[in-house]
Amino acid sequence: MTEAASSEIRRNSPKFEKQFSEIPSYFLKLVAFVTTSFNLAGLAILKITIKIS
């Protein structure tokens, strides 16, 4: 690895660490969103089923 590349990696290291440290929170938000979406879809199906009955 060249000195320039090594220097660039050291310079950007804090950015990478910050971005990678945020990944778990993105997954938690995604899980919450998907769970809410499925719950809302389930409620919609339940309402349709009740109306048909």
The pLDDT value recorded for residue 53 is 66
The pLDDT value recorded for residue 46 is 82
pLDDT tens by residue, 5-53:
788 888 888 888 888 899 999 999 999 999 999 888 888 888 888 887 6
Domain residue spans in the chain?
24-53
* pTM (global) more than 0.85: no
- Residues sharing a CB contact under 8 Å with residue 42, sequence separation 6 or more, in sequence order: none
User: Distance between CA 10 and CA 46 in Å, rounded?
Assistant: 55
